[in-house]
Structure 1
Amino acid sequence: MSARSKARKRALDILFQSDVRGDEVAVTLAAEAKRAAGEPAREASWLYAREIVDGVIDHRDDIDEQISTHSRDWKLDRMPAVDRAVLRIGVWELLFNDQVPPAVAIDEAVELAKEFSTDDSGAFVHGVLARISRSS
């Protein structure tokens, strides 16, 4: 697994944890930063995970608007928390990170959804991110 794939998983953990616990993402991120300081071997994945989470924090309203607009009859608060977190990562990579090709952002998000969410989540995430990619 590449360092960026590991970073996406770490970012997913932070966003999911924050959502489920009802904590501010910045609080969960700070706790993870403290833990990451003691794990120098995982620094490469931590740096990109932090970039993702900071980006989601900075663009949260725009990201959530894109998800709501393109999710076809699914409200954000009705989605599984894992799907929300995966979509936020995918939308950030699609719209705010020029270093990640759209196909890679979508594929990585779909893989996270397949691994950590429901049987239908991969197709759902793919559909939403594909619509966002086409509209941007």
Structure 2
Amino acid sequence: MSSANQARTVARLAAAQALYQMEVSSVGVEAVIREFSDHRFDRALSGEEGEDAPLAGADEPFFAGLVRGVVANQAKIDQAVIKRLAENWKLDRIDATVRAILRAGAFELMNRPDVPTEVVIDEYVELTKSFFEGPEPGFVNGALDGVARDVRR
């Protein structure tokens, strides 16, 4: 993987984390972008087992664009995702981490035609696998594939 691609992968992970953080703590978009820029990128993070987990080499403008874009277009993004959920499923029933991943992925599909559909879906499915071992990656794959079919013709 090229360093530019790796930097986008890190940016996507950070965007999902930032969107999750904004939802659970009600922190604003600019504050969360500033926090990631000042304290999380290009620094080692202490992992659960005390290991240093660097969140280095992020494409920070890409990260900020994802976070701002999801926030600015959330109603439209949510409608695109809801359309692809199983009947009687509500977006607020979905785990907050999965919701953040779906929103970032849907935003990218809807607003970044320069990024191939397969890349967007694969990146967010892999990201989901880093958080979940159950059915969630398949759920994200199906939902984002549906959104892609709706918005990219």
Q: What does 1:62-77 align with in structure 2 at a 5 Å threshold?
A: 62-73=76-87, 74-77=89-92
Q: What does 1:12-91 align with in structure 2 at a 5 Å threshold?
A: 12-35=16-39, 42=56, 44-73=58-87, 74-91=89-106
Consecutive unaligned residues of structure 1, counting only runs of 5 or more, are none
| Alpha-carbon distance in structure 1 between the residues aligned to 2:38 and 2:96 | 24
- 1:79-100: per-residue Cα shift (whole Å, max 9, x none)? 0011001001110110111111
Q: Offset of 1:37 from its aligned partner?
A: 8.4
1:4 to 3, 8, 13: 8
TM-score of the pair, normalised by structure 2: 0.78
After TM superposition, the structure 1 stretch with the greater mean CA deviation from structure 2, 116-125 or 83-92, is 116-125
Q: Offset of 1:55 from its aligned partner?
A: 1.0
Q: Could you tell me which amino acid in structure 1 is paired with residue 33 of structure 2?
A: L
Q: Offset of 1:133 from its aligned partner?
A: 1.0
Closer, same or farther: CA 37–94 of 1 in aligned 2, 3 Å: closer
Q: Could you tell me which amino acid in structure 2 is paired with residue 68 of structure 1?
A: I
- 1:29-63: per-residue Cα shift (whole Å, max 9, x none)? 34334436886x95652221111101111211100
Aligned partners of 1:82 and 1:117 also within 8 Å: no
Closer, same or farther: CA 6–84 of 1 in aligned 2, 3 Å: same
Aligned partners of 1:70 and 1:128 also within 8 Å: yes
Aligned partners of 2:41 and 2:56 also within 8 Å: no
Alignment length, in residue pairs? Answer: 135
Closer, same or farther: CA 69–37 of 1 in aligned 2, 3 Å: closer
Q: Could you tell me which amino acid in structure 1 is paired with residue 7 of structure 2?
A: A
* CA root-mean-square deviation: 2.2
Q: Could you tell me which amino acid in structure 2 is paired with residue 7 of structure 1?
A: A
Runs of 4+ in 1 over 4 A off after TM superposition: 36-39, 41-44
Q: Percent identity?
A: 33
Aligned partners of 1:10 and 1:46 also within 8 Å: no
Aligned partners of 1:36 and 1:43 also within 8 Å: no
TM-score of the pair, normalised by structure 1: 0.87
Q: Which has the larger radius of gyration?
A: 2
Consecutive unaligned residues of structure 2, counting only runs of 5 or more, are 44-54
Relative to its length, the structure with more helix (as a share) is 1
Q: Offset of 1:3 from its aligned partner?
A: 0.6
